[in-house]
Amino acid sequence: MGAFDYDFNANGSLHEIDLPNGITASFRYNEIGEVIALEYRSASNPTFGFSATKEASGKTIAQASPGSHQALTQDQTWTSRAGG
């Protein structure tokens, strides 16, 4: 069993986790400190990730991953389409 290695930003937010299997999880934050993206990579190659778009109130209005994209419409329902 391997070890986990944690790396934090200057403000104390989690930046990366190195997993025992060689995968690194990287986090990206918006200006108010909410996670808006997470990417898993191995040897600098993205293997999977997702992102979120938030409005000023903090409400998620869109989200995407390599295979799909969802958006919150004006009537507050989610629409989906293939592709990130």
**pLDDT single digits (tens) 1-27:** 678 999 999 989 999 999 888 888 888
Q: The domain containing residue 39 runs over which residues?
A: 5-82
Count how many domains the chain has: 1
pTM: 0.63
Q: What is the 3-state secondary structure (H, E, C) of the chain?
A: CCCCEEEECCCCCEEEEECCCCEEEEEEECCCCCEEEEEEEECCEEEEEEEEEECCCCCEEEEEECCEEEEECCCCCEEEEECC
Percent of residues, the chain, with pLDDT higher than 90:
13
Rounded CA separation 47/62 (Å)? 21
